[in-house]
Amino acid sequence: QVQLVESGGGLVQAGGSLRLACAASGRTFSSYAMGWFRQAPGKEREFVAAITRRGGGTYYADSVKGRFTISRDNAKNTVYLQMNSLNSQDTAVYYCAASSRNGASLLREYEYWGQGTQVTVSS
C-alpha cells in the first residue's frame, strides 16, 4: 500500500505560479513511477505529467508542456509539480498517483491515488 497526500493548491491569478507537492508513505517510494492528473468540473480526469522511478524520464500532456515541470526527491518520498504561466483552463482538482509501471501515462495504469488538491486560476 502507498498513501499519497497532496498539498500546495490554492487560488492564483492568471500568469502566476504554484508548486504542488505529493508526500508518499508506505511501500518504497522509489519503486513507483509517479504521475499528476487533474479533473475540472464536468470533465473527465486527465493526464498532466509523469516521472519515472529514478526521475530520469518525464512526460507531459501537450496542454502543459513548457509550463509545468514534474520532479521527485526519492530521499524525501515526495513528487512535485511546478506550474508556471497558469491560465483559467488549468483550474481543476489535481491528483498525484503511483504506478508500478515505469513510464505510465494512462489513468488505468495507476494503482494508488491521493485525495486531490484544488487549484483555481482567476482571470
Reported as a single tens digit per residue, the pLDDT across 78-119 is: 999 999 999 999 999 999 999 999 988 899 999 999 999 999
**pLDDT of 27:** 72
Q: How many whole angstroms separate alpha carbon 39 and alpha carbon 33?
A: 20
**pLDDT of 55:** 94
**pLDDT of 45:** 97
Query: What integer best gives the mean pLDDT of the chain?
Result: 96
Residue 112: partners with Cβ closer than 8 Å, 6 or more residues away: 1, 2, 3, 4, 32, 97, 98
Contact assessment for residue 121 and residue 67, using Cβ atoms and an 8 Å cutoff: no
**pLDDT of 26:** 77
Q: How many whole angstroms separate alpha carbon 67 and alpha carbon 96?
A: 18
**pLDDT of 103:** 85
- Burial (0-12, 13-18, 19+ Cβ within 10 Å), 54: exposed
- Residues of the chain with pLDDT > 90, as a percent, come to 93
- Chain centroid to Cα 94, Å, comes to 6
**pLDDT of 89:** 96
**Is pLDDT larger for residue 27 or for residue 37?**
37
Q: How many whole angstroms separate alpha carbon 29 and alpha carbon 19?
A: 20
Give which of 111, 116, 105, 110 is closest to 41, Cα–Cα: 116
